[in-house]
Structure 1
Amino acid sequence: MKVAVLGCGAIGGVVARALAAGAVPGAALAGVVHREPVDPPDLPVLDASAAIAAADLVVECAGHRALVETGPAVVAAGKDLLVVSVGALTDPALLPALERAGSGRVHLSTGAIGGLDLLRAAAAMGGLRRVRITTTKRAPALVQDWMDDAERARLVSATAPVELRRGPAREIAAAFPKSANVAAAVALAVGDWDLVEAAVVADPAAARTAHVIEAEGVAGEHRFEIRNAPSEETPTTSAVTPYAVLRAIGDLVSTGAVIR
């Protein structure tokens, strides 16, 4: 399977170099697409059109804008698309548009969290009454463009945990596009954006990024707590995320039994 990677940052760079090194049996790197002025010296760089033409699978690791701009062309060309920036799907029209664009298939990465398989099963069994996800990160990683000066100052000077926002998963994932993809992933897993309540907490003492997922329904009560080490390159990203992407690529290549 020839794989092209959109983005060459904290996620895409790790994925591309691992593919180039043969870390995923049955998959090979076709090239990377990126917007930076300097090309990575150790990787083949392609423009988007050439990458789509060369690949069987295109992995989006470049953010919401890249998915909106390039995703439909991937699917229209009959190529598979693996989405990492699932928070972009807060736009209710985007996923249907991708799926209608052509014969290519759309796959969603689990990213930095687990338990989505059980949530899907619980939702299918008889529905869920309550689903909540709380994400906690270091304060500087949560500064957003929409914040005014006073809110930014309150955030970076906080000496104790501060809940920045709580609301429906669609609202929170849109407000924190680099930090709340997990809220979107949970909502997509249970199939109900309105059911999932999400909260983002800034903690100046947080050494790791924490996600606590709680759910109740006919299947029982479930609680998952994940504490991920942040990427050294980009603290808003969990270091494990590119390895979740590589695992997803391996699953798409594999013809054997796969735990999902």
Structure 2
Amino acid sequence: MEKLVIVGCGKLAGIVADAILNGLLPDYELVGVCSRTLAKAESLADKMCQHGFPCVACDSLESLLALKPKYLVEAASPAAMRELALPALENGTSIVTLSIGALADKAFCQKVKERAKANNARVYIASGATGGFDVLRTASLMGNASARFFNEKGPNALKGTAVYDDTLQTDQRTVFSGTATEAIRMFPTKVNVTVAASLASVGPDNMQVTMQSTPGFKGDTQRVEIRNEQVHAVIDVYSATAEIAGWSVVNTLINITSPIVF
């Protein structure tokens, strides 16, 4: 059994925990959880314990890493990923992350690579609400590839960002056009999948991103397109909720220990 811990104890972490309880991740034991709000960590740990799976709620990253986990699931935020990545890798703990936006910072990404290699650990990028990383990487390896990303959201999903105003409730509008690097700076928690797709292909500085706000729209549409002289691929994913991101973590964890990897 591989020791697993989770940082961030919201709905997505709950999906991973339920997958363990339901026998979908038989190669893992969830030994600890940590969250910005300790009560959330305690609630998730109690749920595991009540079902016969010993798990502790930790009040700090240090106490979580002291459990010597083989894998850490990050389901919190890019800011949390920046804080935990280097200490976790130094601990020999591999990371499965949803907050790929943190890796748009080239200097930080390079430090992550070096720390992972030095400690025989890895960072696994979960697909979140998009997909097709295999074809993106393949097409980019062939050379002369260009890529672009389209994201459609409802106006309420943009509240609290620099682009929101009340007219978005009635007018469809392109609210952002630029690179993935620029997008993650403006929307630090909204476009992680954009950065993930860019890292799998042409890089955050070269991935062109368009974000559209549509009145009344619920959920997210993520469309990534890559093209070279021989290949034109379009991956179009609509998700009504964020649950697909949690399940993408479950899929990544299955792949890590599976004899057959998809």
TM-score (norm 1): 0.88
Other-structure match for 2:255? 251
Other-structure match for 1:30? 31
Distance change (3 Å), C-alpha of 1:81 and 1:37: closer
1:131 aligns with 2:147: yes
Alpha-carbon RMSD across the aligned residues, in angstroms, is 1.7
Q: 1:193-227: CA deviations, max 9, x gaps?
A: 23210011111222331112222112321112111
Other-structure match for 1:241? 245
1:154 aligns with 2:154: no
* Partner secondary structure for residue 126 of structure 1: coil
Other-structure match for 2:57? 45
CA distance in 1, matches of 2:185, 2:12: 20
* Partner secondary structure for residue 190 of structure 1: coil
Please state how far the C-alpha of 1:21 moved relative to its aligned partner. 4.3
CA distance in 2, matches of 1:33, 1:225: 34
CA distance in 2, matches of 1:121, 1:13: 33
Distance change (3 Å), C-alpha of 1:145 and 1:133: closer
Distance change (3 Å), C-alpha of 1:37 and 1:49: closer
Please state how far the C-alpha of 1:22 moved relative to its aligned partner. 3.3
1:110 aligns with 2:115: no
1:202 aligns with 2:213: yes
Q: Which runs of 5+ in 2 are unaligned?
A: 49-55
**Equivalent residue letter for 1:83:** T
Please state how far the C-alpha of 1:133 moved relative to its aligned partner. 0.7
1:72 aligns with 2:118: no
CA distance in 2, matches of 1:205, 1:212: 19
Of the three residues 110, 113, 131, the one matched with 1:96 is 110
Distance change (3 Å), C-alpha of 1:160 and 1:180: same
* Partner secondary structure for residue 11 of structure 2: coil
Q: 1:32-87: CA deviations, max 9, x gaps?
A: 11011523142431232232232110111110111111111100011111121001
Q: 1:90-126: CA deviations, max 9, x gaps?
A: 2111111122234122221111111111010011112
Q: Which runs of 5+ in 1 are unaligned?
A: 231-237
* Partner secondary structure for residue 224 of structure 1: strand
Other-structure match for 1:234? none
More helix by share: 2
Q: Percent identity?
A: 25
Please state how far the C-alpha of 1:29 moved relative to its aligned partner. 0.6
Aligned length: 245
